[in-house]
Structure 1
């Protein structure tokens, strides 16, 4: 920074001296003063100094981005010459990007394509969309109300279902208990049949047990058939009584 200030100061002093010499009374009329413009050299030196100050190791493009400037002052590839890239630069850096703002406005062809796309992608008007949303909302509301009514109806039957489930569980437990007692009774009958203690895994014991079970099933089947016959006879008698009364 000190170097730059000193250089500018020396240049100003030199120019002032030349101006004083050019206005001196004893200067010949035909003498010409030549001024040397060292602005480019100073700018080059300042750029070199600025480059040396950058200790980040980033590329110039990345350094510019970090400092909120456009990455490239000049195009580096074909993509940088496109309208899309120019619009992007203007949108991010504004007037500092050096892009003509008129490029950001769509062309006639782009407007036509956009309208055609919207006519296909969004064929309905705002009013039609709002009506459709309202219909769906009413349908969803109706489904919710029906679901609430259904849940209330099921909740009212909850106690009945619990009772039916408990009855079913108790019935199953009673059936298991009865089957176990039946098995034990048959085993005891087989033991009494042999008259002495016999291992239940013995082949003779198993054969006699199977025979007893078969006989028991036959008796139970016969009992069920007799019960059905009694029920049918009772129904027929009831029907005959009703006919006779008429």
Structure 2
């Protein structure tokens, strides 16, 4: 952290003076007691120092026994090894649940002070669970029969699909021939329309002296005249040759 320092003797001068701050640890137990070594290289308390503080806080007279305590366990874990009556007193809401009491009795037995008779499930709860299981769970033969029926339906659907594919493959050459003939007919119709359009454009140029746009009303009127003329020619042709030859 840099502090801005200005002096009255030097009104135009500015000095930056670095000041050392203490690193913040979320799990630190003794605040405001960090030194340079802990600031630079350490991120959590020393277990040996914690161990020594616990001995001092316990107020034990026999300090000679301190070197023999080499487990380095925290106090709440040491209490689990030799639990007392205060250890089994519930402190949190979760410790009042039936599951916690069952686990406590399973680990410590009668020393936990838990009544074994209170750990069994009530007959009403057992009957209710059985009724729910019977209502929501189907018997195994029924499930197997449903699976066999689904497999049989899937097999029939696959056979029907393969049969349709084989039938379609036998008709494929005929369908391809029809498709090619249809495509050729469409191409011929398009070509005929284009030739007819070009012929009308040329006739319009001969009549007006310039090419007319297909969107021009003159072109549309000329096209109607050409269609009417072709219709009359077809009628005369049918009159001359009634047999159609």
RCO higher in structure (CA 8 A, sep ≥6): 1
Task: Give unpaired runs (5+ residues) of structure 2.
Answer: 1-59, 80-86
Q: Which residue of 2 aligns with 1:184?
A: 198
Match of 1:200 in 2: 212
Structure 1 runs of 4+ with >4 Å offset: 48-51, 97-105, 219-229
Structure 1 residue 182: Cα displacement: 0.4
Counterpart of 2:129 (choices 107, 114, 117) is 114
User: Would the alpha carbon gap of residues 202 and 224 (structure 1) be closer, same or farther in structure 2, given more than 3 Å must change?
Assistant: closer
Distance 2:238 2:70 in 1: 112
CA offset digits 1:182-225 (Å, max 9, x no partner): 0111111222234xx4142499xx44432231123335556788
1:54 and 1:96 map into 2 onto residues whose CA distance is: 20
Matched pairs, number: 169
**Structure 1 stretches lacking a partner, 5+ long:** 1-39, 65-71, 235-246
Shift of 1:179: 0.8
Q: Is the 8 A contact 1:86 1:103 kept in 2?
A: no
Greater per-residue helix proportion: 1
Distance (whole Å) between structure 1 residues aligned to residue 194 and residue 133 of structure 2: 78
Alignment of 1:165-184 (within 5 A): 165-184=179-198
Q: 1:102 to 1:137 in 2, by over 3 A?
A: farther
Q: Give the match for residue 146 of structure 1.
A: 160
Q: Which structure has the larger Rg over C-alpha atoms?
A: 1
| Per-residue deviation, residues 98-125 of structure 1 (Å, max 9, x unmatched) | 4788877543122101111012212x42
